[in-house]
Amino acid sequence: MAAVNDQQDIKREKILEASHQRFLHYGYSKTTMNEIAGDLSMSKALLYYYFPDKSQLYIAVMRKLATDYLKTLENRLNTFTNLKEAFTFQVNTHHEFIVNNYNFFDFFRLNEQNLPETIWQIVSEVHSAELNLLSNAIKSEVEKGAIKPVENPDEVVDVLMDALHGIRVGAISQKKTNFPRKEHLEEIHHKKLLLLDIFIKGLMY
């Protein structure tokens, strides 16, 4: 029983890996089930044995990415010695995550509207975890007396995250391109850290 399920799980995992590569390099719409099956030397029908349809497969890959990301955050939860460390960690990790999976997310950009509910669930899960990490960092700093009391930490973190997101959007929309190029990435990162710096000072005594 367990062995059988192990086997299944291993195959599922293999499918997810192959799908991830395809989605990452070619995006959702330019990836066909035949290609994924081909990569794994299996029949397309078998994919449908393991996953109900293409969008569910995509969501499963996303779920996996999100889980890994959440694990990274959880590992460091409440391990920071000061606010700056926490915030910087969040910025760096998030940045890396987005950059590494940029093409993967074109499903979003193209569909924009009417995405499956599950996707929004995952997005909001990730968002909550990020918010939680930063919010906790603030609370613990307040307790330590390192910064002045914050009325509503969650709201403050929410604003910060929107602001950080804006840095990326702003830097991109100025240029003719929708893709952040290598040189922009440096600029974006630098701006984010500058914002962080001022923001943190704004929370101190």
Partner DNA sequence: TTTTGATAGTTTTGTTAAAAAAGTCAGGAA
Partner DNA sequence: TTCCTGACTTTTTTAACAAAACTATCAAAA
The DSSP letter of residue 10 is H
Q: What are phi and psi of 187, to 5 degrees?
A: -60, -45
3-class DSSP state of 104: helix
- 48 part of the interface to DNA, by CB under 7 A: yes
**176 sits near a copy of itself (criterion: CB under 8 A):** yes
Query: Which secondary-structure segment (H or E) carries 184?
Result: helix 182-203
Cα separations (Å) of 27 from 20, 92, 125, 179?
9, 24, 23, 14
Write down the least CB distance from residue 134 to DNA, Å.
38
**Residue 159 touches which of a copy of itself, DNA, none (Cβ within 5-8 Å per kind):** a copy of itself
The contact mask relative to a copy of itself for 34-73 (x = CB under 8 A, - = no) is ----------------------------------------
42 binds DNA (CB under 7 A): yes
Which 3 state secondary structure label does DSSP give 40?
coil
Residue 7 contacts which entry, DNA, a copy of itself, none (Cβ below 5-8 A, type-dependent) = DNA
Query: What string marks each residue from 100 to 119 as x (binds a copy of itself by CB under 8 A) or -?
Result: ------------xxx-----
Note whether 97 binds a copy of itself by CB under 8 A.
Answer: no
**Does 119 engage in binding with DNA (CB under 7 A)?**
no
**Alpha carbons within 13 A on the beta-carbon side of 137:** 26
> How far lies 8's CA from each of 14, 41, 45, 156, 171, in Å?
10, 16, 15, 45, 45
Distance CA 83, CA 106 (A): 33
Instruction: Say if residues 124 and 70 touch (Cβ distance below 8 Å).
Output: no
**Closest approach of a copy of itself to the CB of residue 127, in Å:** 8
Say which entry of a copy of itself, DNA, none residue 75 contacts (CB below 5 to 8 A, set by partner kind). none
Residues that bind a copy of itself (CB under 8 A): 112-114, 155-156, 158-171, 176-178, 191, 194-195, 197-203
Residues that bind DNA (CB under 7 A): 4, 7-8, 11, 29, 31-34, 41-46, 48-49, 52-55
